[in-house]
Amino acid sequence: MNAIKNELRTTQGERETLKRRVIELTTQLETKSKADADTMTAIDKAELLEAELEDLNVRLDKCESDLEAARTELSELKSRNAELEAENESQREKLDADRSVMEDAKKSLASLHEEYQKVQSKLAQSRGALGAQDDALSSGPDTSQTSVDSPVSEKALGKQREVQPPTPADWKKSATTITTLQRAVWRLRQEKVALEKQLSELKQKLQTLEEENTALGIKLHTSADVASELSKLHIAANERSVNTENKLHAVEKELKRANELIALREREKEDLEIATRSVELARQAEFASRIKSLEAELSDLIKARDAALAQIDDWEENRGMWKRWGEAMALRAKQWQEEARKARKPRSVETNVHTKVHLEEPPPLTPPAVTTMYLSSDMGGDPAHTRKRPHDMPDTNVDGHCDVAQYSSDDTIQPRPERAENGESGGRKKARFENSVTGR
């Protein structure tokens, strides 16, 4: 029982030690699970990079919105420029048409001017001829003048012709011709005025078109400047976007490194947890198996204790029987001594023959079964030494360690050292019995 108690105390001590070890490992795991300075620095850097990335994204969105607005404005300006170019082209076509009309008007004006000059010359000739006729009429019928309408024949060239007086038909014809010429001159003057007015209108239109063309050129220059500015803004936005992408790649690399570091720490923590749990499970399995073995040993020891207690009762009863037998044998030995002492007295031969003392022999006892038991070294015996003893008699060896006997039917029952007989009392009884036997 003391050995079992000691084993249980040892097991409880090991359990307490394991509990303390589990607490220490839990503390270490919690300490390792906390983020260290490098991890916190990486996390702070990642947060700063994320904030900078968000700022860059905001700025990039703003640049993209400005770029979209500039593109929209540029497309509007391009469409307006296309409209203005189309309008300019139409105005140019109109101007070309007006120029062609002006050229035609100038040509017609020149032809009219030539015709006017011809009419003026003809009118002057007619007036000269009329004046000459008037002079001839006023000077007399002898004055030879050529008629205005009378053609000069080839025969009359170089010769004087007789002047005939104008007839009323000639006067009427001359008046009609003058009236016709005057009407033609008035018509030509009206046409000239209309053409000059149209020419002035065309000049005004041309000046207006030139002014519009100048305004369109200014607008085109302005749109070109705006387009160049927009292209510069677009280039700057592209550069900013490239820089932002580079920073974004750098931030992604930093975040990747931080994530790899965090994943490595997580894997280390998981490996440590798995190792700790495996060690704990192995310890628990070992303790469970040890507890089961101890429980099995305890049950075996309880069975051995019960069997030993039952055997002790048998041994006590046997001991009493052997004690009574020893006392009876001692009493019988005393009787034998008395009878032997009486028998030593001198008697006659006949008397001795007839009165021979027949000593009473002790009752025959069947020797108990002897079992050879090999004492193990942990029970205080020598493994190379064997001892023969009765099956149901306790060991009375004074020199060795006293152990309880075992049943021959059950070899698994271990002897109990605590139930052994006292060596000294057994030795005294054995010596007294031997002395009584030898004294007989």
Give pLDDT tens digits for 422-433.
455 555 655 665
In this prediction, residues 137-144 reach a mean pLDDT of 53
pLDDT band at 1 (very low <50, low <70, confident <90, very high): low
Spatial CA neighbour of 103 closest among 210, 208, 206: 206
- 284-326 pLDDT tens trace: 888 888 888 888 888 898 998 888 888 888 888 888 898 999 8
Q: Given pLDDT bands bounded at 50, 70 and 90, which one contains residue 331?
A: very high
- Give the count of alpha carbons within 13 A of 200, CB side only: 5
Does 270 score more than 60 pLDDT? yes
Rounded-to-integer distance, Cα 320 and Cα 316, Å: 6
Contact assessment for residue 186 and residue 171, using Cβ atoms and an 8 Å cutoff: no
Q: What angle do CA 83, 84, 85 make, to 5 degrees?
A: 90
Rounded alpha-carbon distances, angstroms, from residue 405 to 308, 318, 416 = 8, 13, 9
Longest C-alpha distance within the chain, in Å?
A: 266
Provide the residue ranges of all domains of the chain, joining segments of one domain with +: 7-137+168-312, 366-440
Residue-level pLDDT at 209: 76
Q: What is the pLDDT of residue 157?
A: 43
The model's pLDDT over 108-125, given as tens digits with 9 standing for 90+, comes to 777 777 877 787 787 778
> Rounded CA gap, 190 and 186, in Å?
6
CATH 1.10.287 fits 7-137+168-312, yes or no: yes
Whether the predicted pLDDT of 66 surpasses 80 = no
To the nearest whole percent, how much of the chain has pLDDT over 90? 3
List beta partners, residue 386: 374
pTM of the model: 0.28
With cut-offs at 50, 70 and 90, classify the pLDDT of residue 70: confident
Pick from 81, 66, 79: nearest CA to 223? 81
Cα separation values, 274 from 28, 260, 284, Å = 14, 20, 15
CB 42 within 8 A of CB 300: no
Residue 407 · residue 307 · CB < 8 Å: yes
